[in-house]
C-alpha cells in the first residue's frame, strides 16, 4: 500500500537560484545551463537531508523502489546520478516535445511511477497542451483521457504551487474545493497518490506543469520539488532556441551518425537523379458535359396549349408527339372565312347575271383572297401537333403544369439533344493553356459516377477565354461515344490531360521557378 501522505522533512529545502540571477556576461544558453547546474547541486544537498529523514519515518508498507537502496548515502548518490543523466538527455533534445518525451520516460523510471505527464503553454493566456505521457512500465499507462489530464494541469497552474493528493486532514475546505479536476483525474486513473509541480518562467508565471501518479520512490515529492526550477529553466531554454521545422531538421542532420549521414547522402543523390527522369506532364481541370447537337422545338402558330405529353429527361423518338395546340380558335376562324367565301361567290354570281363585269372581277378577287385564307387556316388546323425533329432526350421544357397557356409563334417549347455522342468541355486554367494541344489524350470521370472513367482526345481548343465560376479558362472539347447512356448533359467532373514529356523536376518545379524568375526580374 502506498503511503498517500509522505512525511515532511525537518530540514527545509533551500531556495534554488534562478537562471536570470547568473552573470549578465554569460550568453543565454550558458546562463541557463549554469543556473541548471547550480540548482541541481543545491537540490541534491536538500535531498540528502530530506531522504535521510524520510527513510527513517516511511511506513514499512511502502514497496521498495528499484532505485531506493537501504542506505541514505546510496539514495542520495542514485538521485544525483539520475538528475545528471536527466540533464544530459535534455541537452540532446532539439524541441520541447522531444525534451518532454525524454523527461517523462526517465522520470517514470527514476520514480517508479504509474504515470508521468508534462503539459505546457507558451503564454499565460494560452491553454495547456499535453506534450508527453509515460509510465515505468510503458505498456501500463493509466486509462485517464488527455482532456482529463489537461483539466488537471489547468487547475494545478491556477494554484501555482506543488500539490499532493490525497490532502492532509488539516486542509481547509477551500483547498479541497479547488482540486476538483485533480481529484477527478486521480479517481478516473484509479491512482492512490498524486504529486504535481508547477514549472515557473523568469517572470514568475506558470508555463507548464509536471504531474505524477503512484510514485513508489519515497523521496519523489522532494526530488520533484527540488528539480522544478532547473527543469523550468532547461525547458524554457529549449523552447526559445527551438526554431522552425527546417532548423530542427538541419540540427537532426548535423547530429546524425556517419552511417545515417551516408544514407541521407545516397538518398539525396537518388532524389536528384530521379528529378531528371522523364515523365508525362499532366494537367487536371474541371469539366462539364454538353450535347453535340441541340434542337429547339418552337410553337408554329399562335394558340393556347392544349396538352403536353413529355417533360425534361424523357427519351423521345424522331417524329414523336410532344404537345398539341387547342384547335378551337382556328376552327371558329375557319368557319367564318368559309362563310365569307360562300357569300363572295354568291355575290359574284349576281354580278354575272347583271352583266356587271367590273363588280364580277372584284367579287372574284375577294373569293380568291378568302379561299387562300381558308387554306392557310386549314393547314394550321392540320399541323397543331408538335413533334420531335430528332431522336434524343428532352433537355428542357416542362409544360405539363401550364396547359391552356397562350403560345406565341416562335416561342421555344422544348430542347431536344441526342445522347449517342457527348461533347466534354474541359475548363483549362489560363496558366496551363500553353501546354495543351489538339490530339492530346484525356481521361475523365463524372461526379455522378466517379468509379467509371472515360478516355478521349482533344478535338479543339477555343481561342477565346471564358469566365467559369469566377475563373478565366479556355474550353477544350473532347467528343466521346455514349453507348452505355451513363453520360448526360450538364454533368460535371474532373479530367486529366496527358501532355508532353518533361523531366520530373521540371514538372514539379517549373511554376515556382518561373514565379521566382519574374519576381527577381531575370
pLDDT tens digit string along 34-85?
Answer: 444 554 455 445 444 544 444 444 334 334 344 343 344 566 666 677 777 7
354: in domain = yes
Q: Which pLDDT score is estimated for 144? A: 63
User: Which of these, 95, 106, 155, lies nearest to 128 by C-alpha position?
Assistant: 155
> 327: which 3 cell numbers?
384547335
Q: Read off the CATH number of the domain in which 89 is found.
A: 3.30.450.40
Q: CA-to-CA distance for 116 and 224, rounded, in angstroms?
A: 11
Owner of C-alpha cell 481561342: 463
110 & 212 share domain: yes
Q: CA-to-CA distance for 202 and 283, rounded, in angstroms?
A: 55
94 & 138 share domain: yes
Q: Is 522 helix (H, G, I), strand (E, B) or coil?
A: coil
Contact 505, 275 (CB under 8 A): yes
Owner of C-alpha cell 429527361: 313
Under 8 Å CB-to-CB from 218, ≥6 apart: which residues?
A: 6, 51, 54, 55, 58, 62, 65, 68
Backbone dihedral region of 521: left (phi > 0), alpha (psi from -120 to 50 degrees) or beta?
Answer: left
55 & 185 share domain: yes
62 & 209 share domain: yes
Owner of C-alpha cell 544558453: 29
- Give the domain extent around 492: 418-520
Q: Which pLDDT score is estimated for 47? A: 47
Q: Which pLDDT score is estimated for 173? A: 52
Quick: pLDDT tens for 113-166.
889 999 999 888 888 999 999 887 655 555 567 888 999 999 999 888 888 887
- Of 358, 381, 416, the one marking the end of a domain is 416
Under 8 Å CB-to-CB from 36, ≥6 apart: which residues?
A: 19, 87, 230, 233, 234
401 & 422 share domain: no
Half-sphere exposure of 57 (CA within 13 A, CB side): 13
373 & 383 share domain: yes
Q: Which pLDDT score is estimated for 453? A: 92
Q: CA-to-CA distance for 442 and 429, rounded, in angstroms?
A: 15
Give the chain's domain count. 3
Listed as ranges, residues in the chain with pLDDT below 50 are 1-36, 39-40, 43-44, 46-48, 50-72
- Is the pTM for the entire model greater than 0.85? no
Which DSSP category does 383 fall into?
T
484: in domain = yes
Q: Read off the CATH number of the domain in which 439 is found.
A: 2.40.30.170
122 & 200 share domain: yes
Q: Provide the Cα torsion 329, 333, 336, 338; round to 10°.
A: -120
Q: Provide the Cα torsion 427, 431, 432, 438; round to 10°.
A: 70
Under 8 Å CB-to-CB from 239, ≥6 apart: which residues?
A: 96, 120, 122
352: in domain = yes
Q: Which pLDDT score is estimated for 45? A: 53
376 & 486 share domain: no
380 & 439 share domain: no
259: in domain = no
205 & 303 share domain: no
183 & 131 share domain: yes
Q: Which pLDDT score is estimated for 15? A: 34
408 & 426 share domain: no
Amino acid at each position: 500500500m502506498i503511503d498517500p501522505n509522505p512525511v515532511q522533512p525537518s530540514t527545509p529545502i533551500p531556495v534554488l537560484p534562478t537562471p536570470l540571477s547568473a552573470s549578465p556576461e554569460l550568453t543565454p544558453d550558458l546562463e541557463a545551463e549554469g543556473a541548471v547546474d547550480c540548482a541541481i547541486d543545491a537540490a541534491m544537498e536538500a535531498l540528502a537531508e530530506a531522504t535521510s529523514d524520510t527513510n527513517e519515518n516511511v511506513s514499512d508498507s511502502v514497496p521498495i523502489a528499484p532505485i531506493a537502496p537501504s542506505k541514505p548515502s546510496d539514495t542520495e548518490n542514485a538521485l544525483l546520478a539520475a538528475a545528471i543523466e536527466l540533464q544530459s538527455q535534455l541537452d540532446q533534445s532539439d524541441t520541447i516535445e522531444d525534451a518532454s518525451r525524454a523527461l517523462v520516460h526517465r522520470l517514470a523510471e527514476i520514480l517508479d511511477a504509474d504515470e508521468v505527464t508534462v503539459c505546457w503553454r507558451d503564454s499565460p493566456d494560452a491553454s495547456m497542451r499535453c506534450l508527453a505521457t509515460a509510465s515505468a512500465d510503458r505498456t501500463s499507462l493509466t486509462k485517464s483521457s488527455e482532456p482529463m489530464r489537461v483539466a488537471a494541469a489547468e487547475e494545478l497552474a491556477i494554484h501555482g504551487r506543488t500539490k499532493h493528493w490525497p490532502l492532509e486532514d488539516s486542509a481547509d475546505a477551500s483547498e479541497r474545493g479547488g482540486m476538483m479536476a485533480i481529484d477527478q483525474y486521480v479517481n478516473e486513473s484509479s491512482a492512490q497518490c498524486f504529486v504535481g509541480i508547477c514549472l515557473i518562467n523568469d517572470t514568475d508565471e506558470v508555463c507548464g506543469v509536471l504531474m505524477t501518479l503512484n510514485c513508489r520512490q519515497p523521496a519523489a515529492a522532494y526530488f520533484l520539488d527540488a528539480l522544478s526550477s532547473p527543469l523550468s529553466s532547461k525547458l524554457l531554454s529549449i523552447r526559445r532556441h527551438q526554431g522552425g521545422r527546417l532548423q530542427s531538421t538541419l540540427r537532426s542532420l548535423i547530429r546524425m551518425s556517419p552511417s545515417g549521414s551516408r544514407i541521407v547522402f545516397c538518398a539525396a543523390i537518388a532524389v536528384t537523379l530521379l528529378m531528371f527522369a522523364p515523365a508525362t506532364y499532366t494537367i487536371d481541370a474541371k469539366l462539364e458535359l454538353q450535347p453535340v447537337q441541340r434542337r429547339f422545338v418552337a410553337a408554329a402558330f399562335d394558340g393556347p396549349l392544349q396538352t403536353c405529353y413529355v417533360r425534361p429527361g424523357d427519351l423521345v423518338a424522331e417524329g414523336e408527339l410532344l404537345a398539341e395546340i387547342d384547335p378551337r380558335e382556328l376552327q371558329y376562324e375557319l368557319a367564318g372565312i368559309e362563310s365569307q367565301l360562300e357569300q363572295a361567290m354568291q355575290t359574284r354570281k349576281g354580278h354575272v347575271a347583271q352583266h356587271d363585269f367590273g363588280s364580277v372581277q372584284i367579287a372574284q378577287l375577294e373569293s380568291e383572297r378568302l379561299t387562300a385564307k381558308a387554306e392557310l387556316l386549314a393547314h394550321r388546323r392540320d399541323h397543331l401537333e408538335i413533334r420531335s425533329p430528332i431522336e434524343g432526350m428532352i433537355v428542357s421544357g416542362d409544360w405539363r403544369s401550364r396547359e391552356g397557356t397562350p403560345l406565341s409563334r416562335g416561342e421555344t417549347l422544348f430542347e431536344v439533344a441526342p445522347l449517342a455522342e457527348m461533347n466534354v468541355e474541359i475548363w483549362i486554367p489560363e496558366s496551363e493553356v500553353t501546354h495543351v494541344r489538339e490530339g492530346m489524350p484525356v481521361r475523365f470521370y463524372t461526379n455522378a459516377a466517379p468509379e467509371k472513367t472515360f478516355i478521349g482526345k482533344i478535338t479543339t481548343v477555343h481561342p477565346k477565354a471564358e469566365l467559369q465560376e469566377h475563373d478565366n479558362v479556355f474550353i477544350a472539347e473532347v467528343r466521346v461515344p455514349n453507348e452505355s447512356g451513363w453520360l448526360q448533359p450538364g454533368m460535371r467532373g474532373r479530367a486529366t490531360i496527358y501532355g508532353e514529356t518533361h523531366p520530373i523536376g521540371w514538372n514539379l518545379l517549373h511554376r515556382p521557378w518561373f514565379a521566382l524568375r519574374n519576381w527577381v526580374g531575370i
